[in-house]
């Protein structure tokens, strides 16, 4: 039996206001071909299928067309869990219909953990999948009046680890033949390496669990949320596969991957990383104006033929106003697009009002970035007042979830 672990498709995502529909379409076509060619039996999608809770009709069509097309391949089962960007209602709405295609969907935490566990059979081989979605605070923790932030943080972590423990105990109770157990999750694990494109999904240190917090029941843990492929806590069976295409310029040097698991005789025999093609050339160039223009002239499209997207990072000695004009003039005859021109360490040298004057730059900032800049302009030391930052993060999370 072969399983393929993927996550963080973020269908509908835009890179600096540019639609990534073309890369997303190419990825799903490539994934369909890979599943067919390498005879993948089970596909796991560990959250953040969509980039926001109200996906466009175009993104929904990409998603449903892909799922329907998989019915003609070797793939026997698909398990999809919700991420922090997904609307549980959107994912869960067609779950009964998708059941007919052997597609299981868990958009949010269930009242009974048994509903998050699936025992699959492929050609007389069996496996148990614990399909744990992104665990929202309100889904797993009972509020207590007057509790402090420290109490809230500790109670949430306990609720999160309890959810996995309860699922593990149920998996053990039904695993009479000692078959492999694979868990899915969408969370931030301590020590994970982030990029600029992940949204902070917890308040303060909420949910910051480590490899040691997962039950030993699980033979493999297929995580989503972090966009760089990585192993957690040195444990090779606990992994993020990462996003399948670049979601921010901070990821330009990362090889995108999927992870393939191969089972034989009731055991996971191999965990293999699979390189995902780069469907669009996305890169950064660094240096003074002349050096950047020289590098821009050397950039070509790749075999997929999409127009390259570039971030230009000028050194601190450059005049940013003159630099913008020269860079954009230099690329006019070139078959590429510069999406962003910045000074090195620009966020440290520019204030909020300056950024607002340039709408492209303000769109590159997260709400947390804007809040920190505003505190800086008001001479309020947010670094020494972590409780204020945590309160802002909690409000932001509640706004995003309603």
Cα 42 versus chain centre, distance? 20
* Helix extents (H) in 208-273: none
The pLDDT of residue 293: 94
Largest distance between two CA atoms of the chain: 70
The pLDDT of residue 210: 86
| H or E segment to which residue 284 belongs | strand 282-287
**Are the C-beta atoms of residues 186 and 7 closer than 8 Å to each other?**
yes
| H or E segment to which residue 153 belongs | helix 149-174
> Which CATH number applies to 2-275?
3.60.21.10
The pLDDT of residue 376: 78
What residue spans define the domains of the chain?
2-275, 281-344, 346-402
Q: Name the residue among 257, 207, 208, 249 with its Cα closest to residue 231.
A: 257
The pLDDT of residue 346: 59
The pLDDT of residue 200: 53
The pLDDT of residue 153: 62
The pLDDT of residue 377: 74
Stated pTM of the model = 0.84
The pLDDT of residue 205: 43
Domain 281-344 in CATH 3.10.129.10? The answer is no
What is the mean pLDDT, run by run of 10 residues, along the chain of 402 residues?
A: 97 95 98 97 97 95 96 94 95 94 95 95 94 86 54 74 95 96 92 59 54 95 95 94 95 95 93 97 93 94 94 77 81 94 66 51 67 78 68 66 54
């Amino acid at each position: 039996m072969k399983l393929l672990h993927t996550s963080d498709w973020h269908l509908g995502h835009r890179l600096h206001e540019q639609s990534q529909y073309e890369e997303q379409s190419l990825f799903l076509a490539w994934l369909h071909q890979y599943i067919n060619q390498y005879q993948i039996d089970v596909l796991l999608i560990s959250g953040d299928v969509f980039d926001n809770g109200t996906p466009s009709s175009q993104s929904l069509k990409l998603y449903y067309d892909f799922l329907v097309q998989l019915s003609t391949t070797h793939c026997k089962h698909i398990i999809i869990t919700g991420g922090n960007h997904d609307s549980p209602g959107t994912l869960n709405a067609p779950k009964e219909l998708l059941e007919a295609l052997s597609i299981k969907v868990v958009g949010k935490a269930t009242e009974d953990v048994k509903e998050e566990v699936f025992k699959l059979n492929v050609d007389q081989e069996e496996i148990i999948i614990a399909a744990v979605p992104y665990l929202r605070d309100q889904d797993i923790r009972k509020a207590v009046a007057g509790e402090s932030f420290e109490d809230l943080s500790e109670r949430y972590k306990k609720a999160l680890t309890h959810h996995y423990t309860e699922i593990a105990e149920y998996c053990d109770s039904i695993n009479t033949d000692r078959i492999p157990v694979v868990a899915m999750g969408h969370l931030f694990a301590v020590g994970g390496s982030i990029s600029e494109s992940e949204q902070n999904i917890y308040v303060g240190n909420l949910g910051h669990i480590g490899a040691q917090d997962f039950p030993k029941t699980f033979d493999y843990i297929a995580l989503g949320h972090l966009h760089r492929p990585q192993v957690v806590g040195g444990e090779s069976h606990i992994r993020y596969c990462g996003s399948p295409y670049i979601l921010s310029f901070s990821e330009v040097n990362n090889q995108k991957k999927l992870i393939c698991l191969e089972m034989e005789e009731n055991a996971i025999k191999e965990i293999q990383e699979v390189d995902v093609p780069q469907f669009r050339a996305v890169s950064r160039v660094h240096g003074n104006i002349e050096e950047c223009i020289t590098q821009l002239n050397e950039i070509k499209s790749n075999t997929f033929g999409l127009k390259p997207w570039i971030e230009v990072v000028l050194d601190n000695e450059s005049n940013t106003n003159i630099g913008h004009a020269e860079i954009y003039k230099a690329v006019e005859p070139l078959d590429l697009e510069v999406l962003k021109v910045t000074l090195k360490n620009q966020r440290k040298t520019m204030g909020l009002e300056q950024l607002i004057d340039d709408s492209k730059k303000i769109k590159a900032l997260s709400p947390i970035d804007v809040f920190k800049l505003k505190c800086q302009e008001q001479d309020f030391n947010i670094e020494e007042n972590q409780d204020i930052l945590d309160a802002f993060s909690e409000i932001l999370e509640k706004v995003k979830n309603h």
